[in-house]
Structures are given as structure tokens and as C-alpha cells.
Structure 1
Amino acid sequence: MFGYLLYKIVCNLAGFLYPAYASFKAIKANDTKIILPWLIYWIVMAFFTLGEGIADSLIFWFPFYYEMKILFILWLILPQTRGAAYLYDNYIDPTLTFHQKEIDSTLGMAQEKATSTGVEWGRHGLATLQELGQQIIKGRTSF
């Protein structure tokens, strides 16, 4: 149990806290050559985190899983290995570019649906509040 907690802390420090601070410093430097590798890292990390979340129940029990995860995160981050750039250039960019129109269309439909649902819920909520207000004014409802 202690080992698991320690590995989670190290993974989160290496995978999120250090890159977040390095990204902050890159933005402050306002240099695209410094910002771009961190932006690529966050894209790769988003896909990794999504994949890991889906496969978690299958992979967490692999021997040395957390040790391999820490090494993988270091491989992604270190400028000597440029792991995030490798994965982005060879897998993520070509895949997203190939499916970009479908993804944009799906996201557009989802945004429209979310907007219309939000408006519908808002109207329903407002009508309910108005009805409740009228009942309170008439003295039919008490708290």
C-alpha cells in the first residue's frame, strides 16, 4: 500500500506538477521554441491519461507497472529522448489530421446539443421557479 501511494505521488509529480511548472515558465518566457514542446507533451499526456483510465482495470496489476509508468513519463519529458515529440509526430498528429473533419463535425453537433439542452433546462428551471414564486405569493406553499 505504501509503495502504491509513493508511486502515485512520484507519477503525479513527474507527469503533472513538473510539466505544469515548466509550461508556466515557458509561457512567461514567451518563446515558441520553449512553449511548443510542452504543448505537445500535454497533448500526448491527455491521450495517455485517457487510455490509461480506460485500461486501468486491466493493466494496474502488471508487475512493475508503476515503475514502467514513471520511466515512460520521464521518456516523454526529457529533452534528450523527446518521447512526447516522437509519439505526437508519428502517431497522434497523423491520426488527428486524418480524422479532423469527422472530429470537428462530431464536436460541433455535441456543442449544439449541449447548448440546446442547456437552454431547454434553463427555461424549465425558470418556469419552475416562477410557478414556485406564484405559489409562495398566494400562500399555498410553506417552507
Structure 2
Amino acid sequence: MLGYMLNRLLILLLAYAYPAYECFKNVEKNKPDLELLRFWCQYWILIAAMTVWDPFGDSIIGWLPMYSEAKLAFCVYLWYPKTKGTKYVYDSWLKPYIQKHEPEIDRTLSELKTRAGDSASLYFQRVLSYSQTRAFDVLQIVMSQSIQRPPQGGAPMQTQAAAPYATEPSGNGDNGARNRLNKTGAGPAR
């Protein structure tokens, strides 16, 4: 048995890289061969179907000996010109199955598109609402911090809450604040 990593590398090279390069060469020709383009389109449809099946197949029959090697051999069988594997598998298996179930597939895809659009719209609205709420919270925090800061470049201003404490005597015989209030007429007369 080949090692898992080596097998994955071979699948990437032989099932994806080489066929992609061959498809690229045909597409970039001055006059592409339409039959060859049809072949590569069918190949990529089969590879897409195989990729969708892969997680299920790996969990169900992946324990079989030589399963990974069989997948590799199947991919080579599909694109190898002498076997004509793509044409056989596509025309015999995939095409009849899809044609038989095409209305159901189209209906399901339409429903999924509608649900996806509705879900995307709902989540977008939720994200927008959450973002607005957080932006207002941040703005409130910034505004509250900017109001509490003393002005730059001078002695800090007294706030109204601190003013009553400035008029009370310190208790060590300093009656300066009381005397100032008495001179202005704002305090109790003695």
C-alpha cells in the first residue's frame, strides 16, 4: 500500500493538475477542439461529483484495503485516452441519473438559494444592528472620558462637586476660606 501522503500527492497531480493543464492547453489554442473541450467538461463534472461524494465514501468504505489507490486508478482511468473512461461513466451513469432527477435537483437548488438569501439578509441585519449598538457604546465611552479630562496647560479647574469642600475649615485653625466668605457676604456673619 502506498503511504497516505504519497497517494494524496499523486491524486492531486494526476486527477487535478495534469487534466487542468491539458484543458488549459486546449482552451488557449487558436481554434479549440470542441470534442476535446466536451471531454474535459465531462471529466470535470465527474471529478466534481467524486469530490462531493468523497467525504461520505471515505467514511463508509474508506476502511477497505487499497481504497485510496483505487480512487487514484479511477481518476487515471477517466482521463486516459485509450480507456475512454470519462465518456463511458458520464454517458452510462451520471447523465441518466441527473436527467431523471433534474426537476427535483432544480427545485431543491431554488429553495436553497431562497433560504440562503433570506439567511444572509437576516444575518446581515443582525450584524448591522450589533455593530451600531457597539459603535454607540464606544462613542459613549469616548465622550464620557473626554468630559472628565481637565483642560490642558493650566491648573485643573474645580468641579462643582469639589467646591463645598473648599469653603469648610481644615480643622487646624485655618479660617482663611471662612474669612473670605465673610468678606464677600456669602457666609454667616460673626
**TM-score (normalizing by structure 2):** 0.67
- Change in Cα spacing, 1:10 to 1:130, as seen in structure 2 (3 Å) is same
The runs of at least 4 consecutive aligned structure 1 residues that moved more than 6 Å come to none
**2:86 corresponds to which of 66, 84, 102:** 84
Larger Rg: 2
The aligned counterpart of 2:12 is 12
Separation of aligned partners in 1, 2:89 and 2:126: 47
Bigger mean CA offset, 81-90 vs 27-36: 27-36
The aligned counterpart of 1:97 is 99
The aligned counterpart of 1:113 is 115
The aligned counterpart of 2:61 is 59
The aligned counterpart of 2:148 is none
Q: What's the offset of the Cα at 1:82?
A: 1.1
Give the structure with the higher percent helix. Answer: 1
Separation of aligned partners in 2, 1:72 and 1:2: 16
Identify unmatched segments of 5+ residues in structure 1: none
Alignment: residue pair count: 142
Q: What's the offset of the Cα at 1:4?
A: 2.4
What secondary structure sits across from 1:99 in the alignment? helix
Separation of aligned partners in 2, 1:81 and 1:108: 37
**Do 1:77 and 1:83's aligned partners in 2 also have CA atoms closer than 8 Å?**
yes
Identify unmatched segments of 5+ residues in structure 2: 145-190
**2:128 corresponds to which of 126, 129, 141:** 126
Paired AA for residue 118 in structure 2:
S
What secondary structure sits across from 1:139 in the alignment? helix
Q: What's the offset of the Cα at 1:68?
A: 2.5
Q: What's the offset of the Cα at 1:14?
A: 0.5
Separation of aligned partners in 2, 1:137 and 1:103: 50
Q: What's the offset of the Cα at 1:140?
A: 7.3
